[in-house]
Amino acid sequence: AQRVTQPEKLLSVFKGAPVELKCNYSYSGSPELFWYVQYSRQRLQLLLRHISRESIKGFTADLNKGETSFHLKKPFAQEEDSAMYYCALRAGTYKYIFGTGTRLKVLA
Amino acid sequence: NAGVTQTPKFRILKIGQSMTLQCTQDMNHNYMYWYRQDPGMGLKLIYYSVGAGITDKGEVPNGYNVSRSTTEDFPLRLELAAPSQTSVYFCASSSGGGARNEQFFGPGTRLTVL
Of the candidates B68, B77, B60, the one whose C-alpha atom is nearest the C-alpha of residue B29 is: B68
Four-CA torsion B28, B107, A55, A23, nearest 10 degrees? -120
Instruction: Report CB contact under 8 Å: B103, A32.
Output: no
pLDDT tens digits, residue range B78-89? 989 999 999 999
Q: Which of A86, A90, A100 sits opposite B99 (nearest CB)?
A: A90
B64 φ/ψ angles, rounded to the nearest 5 degrees: -130, 155
A23's CB contacts (< 8 A; 6+ apart) are: A4, A5, A6, A33, A35, A61, A69, A70, A71, A72, A87, A99
- Using CA of residue B82, residue B87, residue B88, residue B89, what is the dihedral sign? negative
> How far, rounded to the nearest angstrom, does the alpha carbon of residue A78 sit from its chain's CA centroid?
16
pLDDT digits (tens, 9 = 90+) for B8-29: 999 999 999 999 999 999 999 9
Task: Determine phi and psi for A25, rounding to 5 degrees.
Answer: -130, 160
B40 Cα to chain A: minimum distance (Å): 6
Which residues in chain A touch residue B100, judged by CB atoms under 8 angstroms apart?
49, 51-52
% of chain A with per-residue pLDDT over 90: 76
Q: Under an 8 A CB cutoff, do A95 and B98 touch?
A: no
Would you say B88 and B108 are in contact if contact means Cβ atoms under 8 Å apart?
yes
Residue B43 to residue A4, Cβ atoms within 8 A:
no
Tell me what pLDDT residue A91 has: 85
The beta-carbon neighbor of B105 closest among A45, A93, A100 is: A45
Better pLDDT: B1 or B22: B22
How many residues appear in chain A?
A: 108
Does the CA dihedral A20-A21-A27-A32 come out positive or negative? negative
Give the pLDDT mean for B94-111: 86
Structural Rg of chain B based on CA atoms: 13
Q: How far apart are CA B38 and CA B54, in angstroms?
A: 27
Distance from CA of B15 to the nearest CA of A (A): 27
pLDDT in the model for residue A26: 95
Count Cα atoms within 13 angstroms, Cβ side, for B93.
24
CB-closest option in A34, A93, A99 to B42? A99
